[in-house]
């Protein structure tokens, strides 16, 4: 089997592709892969490290407002389609899989014009522009949220619900994080608070205001602030390194192991984060970022809140008092967290990669 993967810009588009590649390789040891992304996206940093052959096309996103940049985008699209066609002809894939980001538009469109089987995967509850465009041309549309089905309503016969491949990868994690590595105590009730890899200003501001109260709680708190905000915490608090109950890290790279260890997460509601939370059944307070396309993080969060698998606090309503109250209530109610955990896990897809592979196999 020869598989061309494409997806980029953010980890939310890249990690599902890598999870799929890993499982495909396990099932088909002789499988060969090519990953097509852009030079500027995160994929240019991550993919070469995996050893997967990596090629690029030059493309940029379409602006939603009227802009001269869109003229350049159209020109780049035509050029990128030509480049993608050549890569496809050279590699001769059995299937082309797109996991989101504007790089997918020329790659999967080119594949469809060359009659190569194609499938796109939409991780969010609101479809991205590229996937909406491609839905007309591809053979299959894999989705992770039922809500996004309506965005592809013109092609119901193409839709298959698979969940996010990251779920199956995470669901198999049995390791527990060692909290002493962060200066905390193993076995003590713990809350993890983070706002994404770069941090979130509003969450960090609310958190900074309640640190004196949190230091007095009988649960401990681990914060991933983001590099910029880490320095701000250090400058704001003279006793920053002396807190017993609260520890701040700039970045944490083993989130799934932590989700599998701690009692409550306070975080954004990106697709990858929700996939990991549902795969492991980790109770959460979700604070959707309002600064995303079509407010998709709020819709992501609502899909979990509607089944009582999480609580949501909108950023517009976020205050230090409300944040502290929400954390205190959940950390003081073991039964409530247990129910949330069960409900969150019930909407996960622990066999997501198997389902996606089955969809791929059905078109080749």
Q: 11: annotated binding-site residue?
A: yes
Beta strands in 310-350 (DSSP E): 311-312
Residues written for the chain:
364
Q: What is the DSSP string of 79-133?
A: HHHHHHHHHHHHH--SEEEE-SSTTHHHHHHHHHHTT--EEEEE-SSS--HHHHH
Tokens matching residue 221: 């708190």
For the chain, strand residue ranges (E) read 2-6, 32-37, 54-56, 95-98, 118-122, 140-143, 159-161, 190-194, 220-224, 246-249, 264-267, 284-286, 311-312
HSE-up of 156 (CA within 13 Å, CB side)?
2
362 is in an annotated binding site: no
Give the side-chain half-sphere CA count within 13 A for 28. 15
Query: Residue 353 in contact with residue 360, Cβ under 8 Å?
Result: no
225 is in an annotated binding site: no
CB 237 within 8 A of CB 211: yes
Two tokens at 39? 């030079």
Residues 6+ apart with CB under 8 A from 263: 189, 190, 191, 219, 283, 331, 337
* Token pair of 298 as six digits: 């709020």
Phi, psi of 351 (to 5 degrees): -115, 30
Query: Is residue 124 annotated as involved in ligand binding?
Result: yes
Contact 6, 37 (CB under 8 A): yes
Residue 252 marked ligand-binding: yes
Of 166, 118, 218, 173, which Cα lies nearest the Cα of 18? 166
Distance from C-alpha of 343 to C-alpha of 95, rounded to nearest angstrom: 35
3-state secondary structure of 259: helix
Write out the binding residues for UDP-N-acetyl-alpha-D-glucosamine.
10-12, 124, 197, 252, 297
Write out the binding residues.
10-12, 124, 197, 252, 297
């Amino acid at each position: 089997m020869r598989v061309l993967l494409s997806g980029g810009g953010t980890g939310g588009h890249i990690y599902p592709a890598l999870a799929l590649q890993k499982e495909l390789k396990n099932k088909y040891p002789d499988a060969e892969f090519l990953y097509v992304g852009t030079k500027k996206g995160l994929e240019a940093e991550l993919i070469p490290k995996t050893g997967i052959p990596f090629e690029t096309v030059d493309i940029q996103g379409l602006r939603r407002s009227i802009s001269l940049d869109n003229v350049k985008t159209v020109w780049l699209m035509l050029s990128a389609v030509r480049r993608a066609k050549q890569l496809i002809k050279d590699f001769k894939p059995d299937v082309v899989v797109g996991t989101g980001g504007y790089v997918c538009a020329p790659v999967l469109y080119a594949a469809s014009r060359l009659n190569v089987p194609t499938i796109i995967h939409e991780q969010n509850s609101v479809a991205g522009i590229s996937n909406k465009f491609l839905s007309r041309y591809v053979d299959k549309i894999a989705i992770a949220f039922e809500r996004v089905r309506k965005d592809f309503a013109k092609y119901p016969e193409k839709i298959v619900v698979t969940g996010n491949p990251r779920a199956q990868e995470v669901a198999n994690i049995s390791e527990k994080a060692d909290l002493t590595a962060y200066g905390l105590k193993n076995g003590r009730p713990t809350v993890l608070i983070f706002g994404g890899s770069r941090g979130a200003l509003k969450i960090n501001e609310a958190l900074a205001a309640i640190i004196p109260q949190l230091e007095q709680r009988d649960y401990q708190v681990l914060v991933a602030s983001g590099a910029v905000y880490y320095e701000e915490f250090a400058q704001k608090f003279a006793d920053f390194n002396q807190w017993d109950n609260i520890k701040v890290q700039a970045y944490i790279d083993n989130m799934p192991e932590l989700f599998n260890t701690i009692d409550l997460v306070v975080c954004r509601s990106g697709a990858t984060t929700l996939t990991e939370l549902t795969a492991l059944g980790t109770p959460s307070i979700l604070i959707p970022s309002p600064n995303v396309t079509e407010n998709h993080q709020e819709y992501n969060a609502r899909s979990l809140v509607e089944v009582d698998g999480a609580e949501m606090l909108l950023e517009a309503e976020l205050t230090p008092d409300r944040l502290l109250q929400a954390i205190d209530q959940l950390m003081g109610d073991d039964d409530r967290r247990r129910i949330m955990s069960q409900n969150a896990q019930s909407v996960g897809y622990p066999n997501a990669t198997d389902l996606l592979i089955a969809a791929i196999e059905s078109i080749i």
